[in-house]
Structure 1
């Protein structure tokens, strides 16, 4: 990677534009800095966000751009790391099961029957599953975060907005770099890149990286490190200039993630073993998870993913315009096994696992042209996805006894089942036990989906100062889905029961009746209790179609001031609930009305942008914990729908008071409420807040010293704030808010990053020291209530501590 002579200052200015809420557009964009004549003049950023080359300040959609310099300054590895500095964007959860949200709209598609509300695109290729979207920043040029519906050009499932990652392309110059980072908690990061021409018309670009850390949590019993990272990625891109008018780029990506799953920190004080906590536990007794001991006994603890992708991009310049074709294939498989009890007790053990295998194909053909008065884009796309998913619950017969006891399901004197009969067998001198046997239940799903789309977007130049844009996309989604809830698996228990069957007739009559009940219970599912549907494969198919229009009017009041207003519709396909056999839901729609202003003040070296929006959401899909399970007491995560509305403001400013000093700030305000909503718990949430905080912002400053022949030094400081969650009547169950007096869930969060870097005069060597979360702010991220009512084992997750370290790099 090459840096120009103004190095860090110039790069920062591009990054600072990411701090402003600027008008932009959908599509794969190419940002480039156009030098102004003075070091104190704000850089022009040119993008092709609407498949047209336009100055970023001239495009009437709210967009925030994060370039490779800001990624480097914040030591960001993936989208979860950078989202903190993009107000209105949230990327939470684990890498294989993340949740994306823009302007308070999200889904969290951990089931293959649902789709995300935020579209994630890598070089214009849609990532259908969020589990394959949070990938390493491998040779990324920039990230564009587009707020509001982006259906016209981006397409389906971008009703809330879109996140577009654009990677660097092969060039005609030999260049490369080697970069390492070392930090606390055993962090080791290394990346390398080589770009080389292979002839007059071809070039190759190859990059690779490795990221590891020991983890910042440890097991209180074993001392084993937890929450570590271990992943690597590689990328190769080959470009061929077939002619002066035609070029082709073939790209291949591979990534491997193999680490332990995120641990759960138990927050309920436990009695001495084998005692059990009360169900439900008293929130007043909860321990502060930031200081509580951590115990993890998950068997087969794993979060892993293998990802492969290939993309062929063809571009041809004709006399009348441009023809572009994108052909892409993606495949990933993932495993995420999570602790759901936060203890190391057999009689409280429960883990869940999500196992996926996904393969997709994407083809888009796009045409564009500009006649002076009319600038147009039109095209068609086809998408096909085949996916398999297994949702598991793993327990021991000891923990099933805890469930029987808390839910009063066993007709035995002590309320247990397996423990009671083990004691009976012992009293009879039978050397067999029904305890300590592993028990697994699972639901298997398959999905076969395809989508067709036709789209067009036209900018009409009404005058030298005004434009009117009309866009329309037609989409048809078709899905085939299946459920299979097979028999539970407990091989060692079954072997023990087989030995006991001949002995049942020798038991006293009253024990024979209880034994037959125990055998009946032990023969079927308890958590996924689907009755007559157990063992049957259930299939369904459905289709949805939609017309999504977009209307935009922009007016240049002065050469440096643009006003705009837009009305756009977003659409997300309907789908199926993976864990609720036979359940499906309609597509969701959103109408977004927005108006804004963008202004540059050249004499002050300042630009600012503001927009206001109002949206109405129909049938918004959300995954929530449903306490009304099928009799076992163990809740399920189900998809429900609601109608919502919100209004909000986005604001951003960038200021370059001198050639050495620069400032930026951006902010988001939103008031989001339910119009019509009854939660799975039965709570009527109509008129209540959806949970999204009112306010978030980020600010940044950078000072640059030129040391003549000794190179240059840059000090960067950045701070982010996200306000308190607005709780509703269902927030406590979902784990978004807490009533415990010992800690706060949903409180406002802050993060401050500091970086001091030096680059030598030749621009080859660079050294830096950094501290992320400088003041070591720790927060309780959420509460897990999956086993609260059945085991009394509420758990929590917390945010990472301070990360500090050094970086060394060489480039040519």
Structure 2
């Protein structure tokens, strides 16, 4: 196995060297002909002085990607965590946050046709008729605005055209995979056209849940979009309406503690070698989640885009309304034990309205844009923790107390009460309610000044004002069966339901927000950028830039304000905006004679006040606490491609990064430092890389093609906090390892590409890894693992007019 891994890494390195590093996956002839809008202007990608990767429809099809998460590894430096698609995580160049609360934002902005998606319910959806994806690295505060401090992902869909067209795809495969999409482009008149798209994706799942007899790890989603285009003289108006529905089982959580005496008999707050020796291999142990879970989303969106000439200038307007509802019920103990039972419920609903006006113009020396944008969002969240009386007894014993419920039930059983035993359990549900209202407005300008025919200076600035109003409400527990039992039979032991606390999991929050509590705060920011670029010749662009990005401030939804707290964060649970300053210098090189492109950029950044809400213990029960950190990093991005012949193209790419904390302190309830990670690595692997080959040849009067590509990332860099579980090596499992994955597409297209068939294999060599080890029950010695999925094989059929 180790020899195979070494061989695969050697092959990947050789492919990288041969390809001269290029994450552009396309097999088209000329990368330099690709038009993008990363700078809010239509430009050739090789003329844009910033680090970015562009994926076309063919690139997406080559790896069988249905959403952004399937692109993991193929854009080095981009990480998408879709373990729970209603709570996705996005990171660029090591900057990401794991908070799922509605009062914070993501440092990576996701935009679909210029519309900001937010970070939760509308951020990760299936691709619907995508024309291209632009991944822009580094802060984009000037051009994209708030919440693009680490970078931006712009998804551009196809507008209606004036030619009759239709196309469809059907993919079937392992784990009862069945994906289908259809598109109809319909000219209505010489100035009006419609485009209708429907997409369905689903699979049964790859993990057998022994506790429920059902499959886990599958997906089920369908969506549709209707677009109308109307041309009025030289103006264009595009109206888009979309709907999406997802309903699937919860993600599988593989518990690694199977000994029923553990964790109470062995865990002492430290994951030392003696304790981790008890971990089982999650790849061989059966999945046993007593809560099958379910995750779903209903989404509706509408957007109106107008582009029109105005007194020699160009006017653009984007208006959008989005709403969604999500629910996510998940097993968070990784097993089927009543004494460790923990199920969480995260439910959200949101409505947002966005409006942007933009005016642009060009002269012989200036290319400028100016804009004004507004964003309104109202969002509600229910965060539930559902446990049993057995779980509460376990928590009590870890805190040095007794198994109170077991003692009570045992005493009543000994007194002859029928139907009750010492190991009887009752449900105990607690829910934390949050409401956030966000109002944001910004004004910006960006100008490219043509100093000479070959040299440009770009300067931009955006002013943003954000306001958030946060409401906390934590009512008492819901445990009707327990309360009824205690009120009926508790008097035999001299107690009733009132003898027990109203909340245990959210005990502190319940004391502070038994009735709704509201706070409001606003922030302002100036986000500048300055770029110098120079063309040495028509095929070589040099550039250097400095830019700053901004992520709005927010609140910890799990910590209502406590005027009596000894700490500032306890008194005021809001936190200040996050800001990233990035320095970059690079080159974009086209080699027409070799049919090759090479792009490279050095970068260095400082990220201040990155907010993350983490689960750890400051008392008896683990709680979610805000941790603020400052980080710095430097690195290198390289990409390129070369067409060796009309039939063979090589491509590849890599990102090297060295990222560390300059400030990280975890505080206890009294404001004392529990953990200091200053100077230690954040965890991002030093190297992520990809490479591949595309070949085509004539076959059976049509054209056959093969696309083989792979990704590789080096081992996770661990620190004092993460070393015990994230960089673990035992006899049964390893975490934090270097990872590789390879994908294959073997296809045939008819003459004229009217129809075709393809074999798609994801994870060709069936390489499996522990994606993460920890979870909600990590704090009391019962972690669980998320695993990468096994090899998937599918056959795709397509047809078009």
Taking structure 2 as the reference length, what is the TM-score of the superposition?
0.91
Q: Counterparts of 1:178-193 in structure 2 under 5 Å?
A: 178-193=168-183
For the Cα contact (< 8 Å) 2:579–2:609, is it kept in 1? yes
Aligned to 1:545: 524
Aligned to 1:720: 711
CA distance in 1, matches of 2:684, 2:282: 23
Aligned to 2:429: 440
Aligned to 2:738: 748
Aligned to 2:287: 294
CA distance in 2, matches of 1:164, 1:210: 22
CA distance in 1, matches of 2:513, 2:727: 36
Alpha-carbon distance change, 256 to 732 in structure 1, aligned in 2, over 3 angstroms: farther
Aligned to 1:36: none
Aligned to 1:363: 355
Taking structure 1 as the reference length, what is the TM-score of the superposition?
0.90
Q: Secondary structure at the match of 1:530?
A: helix
Aligned to 2:499: 520
Aligned to 1:420: 407
Structure 2 stretches lacking a partner, 5+ long: 1-17, 562-572, 669-673
Work out whether 1:796 is the aligned partner of 2:775.
no
Aligned to 2:446: 457
Aligned to 1:407: 399
CA distance in 2, matches of 1:32, 1:759: 17
CA distance in 2, matches of 1:40, 1:302: 45
Q: Counterparts of 1:499-518 in structure 2 under 5 Å?
A: 499-500=488-489, 503-504=491-492, 512=494, 515=495
Aligned to 1:261: 250
Aligned to 1:70: 59
Alpha-carbon distance change, 498 to 432 in structure 1, aligned in 2, over 3 angstroms: farther
Aligned to 1:658: 645
Work out whether 1:586 is the aligned partner of 2:573.
no
How many corresponding residue pairs? 760
Aligned to 1:807: 796
Moved more, 697-706 or 314-323: 314-323
CA distance in 2, matches of 1:423, 1:432: 11
CA distance in 2, matches of 1:577, 1:317: 45
Work out whether 1:57 is the aligned partner of 2:36.
no
Q: Secondary structure at the match of 1:145?
A: strand
For the Cα contact (< 8 Å) 2:388–2:426, is it kept in 1? yes
Moved more, 107-116 or 773-782: 107-116
CA distance in 2, matches of 1:588, 1:42: 35
Aligned to 1:412: none
CA distance in 2, matches of 1:732, 1:114: 27
Q: Secondary structure at the match of 2:244?
A: strand
Per-residue deviation, 1:544: 0.5
Q: Counterparts of 1:285-364 in structure 2 under 5 Å?
A: 285-298=278-291, 301-364=293-356
Q: Secondary structure at the match of 2:694?
A: strand
Work out whether 1:431 is the aligned partner of 2:424.
no
1:227-262 residue CA offsets vs partner (Å, 9 max, x unmatched): 111111111101111x22212111011111101110
Say which of 124, 135, 159 aligns to 1:134: 124
CA distance in 1, matches of 2:507, 2:20: 47
Aligned to 2:567: none
Work out whether 1:554 is the aligned partner of 2:545.
no
Per-residue deviation, 1:407: 2.4
Per-residue deviation, 1:129: 2.5
Aligned to 1:245: 234
Q: Counterparts of 1:14-413 in structure 2 under 5 Å?
A: 20=22, 44-92=33-81, 93-241=83-231, 243-271=232-260, 278-280=266-268, 282-298=275-291, 301-409=293-401
CA distance in 1, matches of 2:383, 2:730: 31
For the Cα contact (< 8 Å) 1:19–1:86, is it kept in 2? no
Aligned to 2:473: 484
Q: Secondary structure at the match of 1:249?
A: strand
CA distance in 1, matches of 2:205, 2:533: 50
1:605-659 residue CA offsets vs partner (Å, 9 max, x unmatched): 2110110011111111123222224x3x3x2233211111110100011101111
Moved more, 342-351 or 113-122: 342-351
Alpha-carbon distance change, 221 to 454 in structure 1, aligned in 2, over 3 angstroms: closer
Say which of 742, 755, 759 aligns to 1:769: 759
1:468-494 residue CA offsets vs partner (Å, 9 max, x unmatched): 000000000000001111101101111
CA distance in 2, matches of 1:430, 1:18: 76
CA distance in 2, matches of 1:727, 1:473: 37
CA distance in 2, matches of 1:486, 1:537: 9
Say which of 606, 624, 636 aligns to 2:623: 636
Cα RMSD of the aligned pairs, angstroms, is: 2.3
For the Cα contact (< 8 Å) 1:442–1:486, is it kept in 2? yes
Aligned to 1:475: 464
Alpha-carbon distance change, 321 to 277 in structure 1, aligned in 2, over 3 angstroms: farther
Q: Secondary structure at the match of 2:500?
A: helix
Alpha-carbon distance change, 51 to 363 in structure 1, aligned in 2, over 3 angstroms: same
Structure 1 stretches lacking a partner, 5+ long: 1-15, 23-30, 34-38, 410-414
Per-residue deviation, 1:534: 4.6
Alpha-carbon distance change, 20 to 456 in structure 1, aligned in 2, over 3 angstroms: farther
Moved more, 526-535 or 685-694: 526-535
CA distance in 1, matches of 2:511, 2:614: 25
Per-residue deviation, 1:548: 0.6
For the Cα contact (< 8 Å) 1:626–1:680, is it kept in 2? no
CA distance in 2, matches of 1:17, 1:109: 38
Alpha-carbon distance change, 378 to 438 in structure 1, aligned in 2, over 3 angstroms: same
1:735-754 residue CA offsets vs partner (Å, 9 max, x unmatched): 53335442221111111011
For the Cα contact (< 8 Å) 1:459–1:467, is it kept in 2? yes
